[in-house]
Structure 1
């Protein structure tokens, strides 16, 4: 074993000189250590960046049958972790980040921080906790449930919407929702079909038939099958008429 210094490169060979005399010396890489060893009939070389630097490129190369290295040498860049990034926000790092450095994050007005407000550069070149993102406090347009709809055209933070269902459907879930920190306050509700009552099936006879005589026959037939009496039908029709009249006057 012997050591060779080339500029800021520290070259460490773990093989004898005869093992590597036919392979050229690897290119000098500043701020790195190069370890070469013979394995399965070929010479392998691995670069390790010094503390405070991170490697860009292929870490391990080998000397092939043509006595040339199979890949260009990597480089060692100052700053142990990748540069942090935060759209719609800012952090307190102004230069290359070293190992064990901590940085803190803050979002611009109108945005909320999703994730940790700080992170540290670790020895394996990663950030922990993972870098956060800044998300808008406003909400996107909400979805429409099948056979339903919502009322409201403001989707900014603090705005409210109300869900409704079509006729013959009832709402299951939260009807009134608010935009809070970029999310609607509840999950999307759904509209459940309301089963027909015997009376509704009887009245449907008039809607299904275009011929008045046939529609009347169908109505009387269904009325008999249901066991209802005409007075009950009359009462329900009067109630529906009153409801429609009240809606018209609103």
Structure 2
């Protein structure tokens, strides 16, 4: 079952402030002391793997270790786990060095990563252990004042979005389900802005034409239809007259 003792190697000045490093069964400990802190590094012996932080620091002022003590557990690498899937190994626990495992996901799940991995000398799995993700996406959010169309929500499927009359689409019109996630955020439907409508006063504004008499006659008729008094019409014409005189004076100056 291995040696229960921990072997300690101290490098640097002898430490005289921190307590002895915590003992971990089936491990080798390398300790380094400096003037202000004490560092210990744990390595598990062959056939065991480390659970927890590999390096611990002890501050000589507080005399406390910065993390909980790790442990060395049976098995050269951590036992492989595949949620929503199955794995095939040449042997049962514990895991030994160079052991190879293969992976397969359950129905309706997709394997993300390699379908095999090997336990390495440094107690890690290479390639990294895969995971099983859902094979289809959750239904996307239906936009207010709109809807979407699709055959299904399986990986690779597309969904298109459409807005009701009077609304326009803001965002991506089409999304694709990729490994359980949609390619983009669902769009929204925003009300269209209507073109401004001219008021009766704007329609009755003085429209200058080649025949000024015709323009005045049209303006008088429009003002009369809108209930304008003769005095109000006279005032409007006086204002327009001043504007025309300013334009005429400016043009005369430019010609000179």
TM-score scaled by structure 1? 0.52
Q: Are residues 165 and 102 of structure 1, via their aligned partners in 2, closer, same or farther at CA, if it must alter by over 3 Å?
A: same
Q: Runs (4+) of structure 1 moved beyond 6 Å?
A: 23-28, 41-44, 69-73, 222-225
Residue equivalent to 1:165 = 163
How far off its partner does 1:7 sit?
Answer: 4.6
- Superposition RMSD on alpha carbons, in Å? 5.1
1: CA distance, partners of 2:147 / 2:40? 65
Residue equivalent to 1:52 = 47
Q: 2:180 aligns with which of 158, 182, 187?
A: 182
How far off its partner does 1:144 sit?
Answer: 3.6
Deviations 1:22-69 (A, max 9, x none): x9998875433344666549987654321332234565587x99xxx9
Q: 2:82 aligns with which of 79, 86, 96?
A: 86
Residue equivalent to 2:249 = none
Give the unaligned 5+ runs of structure 1.
1-5, 203-217, 228-250
Q: Are residues 221 and 106 of structure 1, via their aligned partners in 2, closer, same or farther at CA, if it must alter by over 3 Å?
A: farther
TM-score scaled by structure 2? 0.51
8 Å contact 2:175–2:186 — kept in the other structure?
Answer: no
Residues 1:103 and 2:134 aligned together:
no
Task: Report SS of the residue matched to 1:92.
Answer: strand
Query: Which structure: larger Rg?
Result: 2
Equivalences for residues 1-40 of structure 1 within 5 A? 7-9=3-5, 11-13=7-9, 30-35=25-30, 39-40=34-35
Equivalences for residues 129-208 of structure 1 within 5 A? 129-145=127-143, 148-151=145-148, 156-157=153-154, 161-171=159-169, 175=173, 181-184=179-182, 188-191=186-189, 194-197=192-195, 201=197
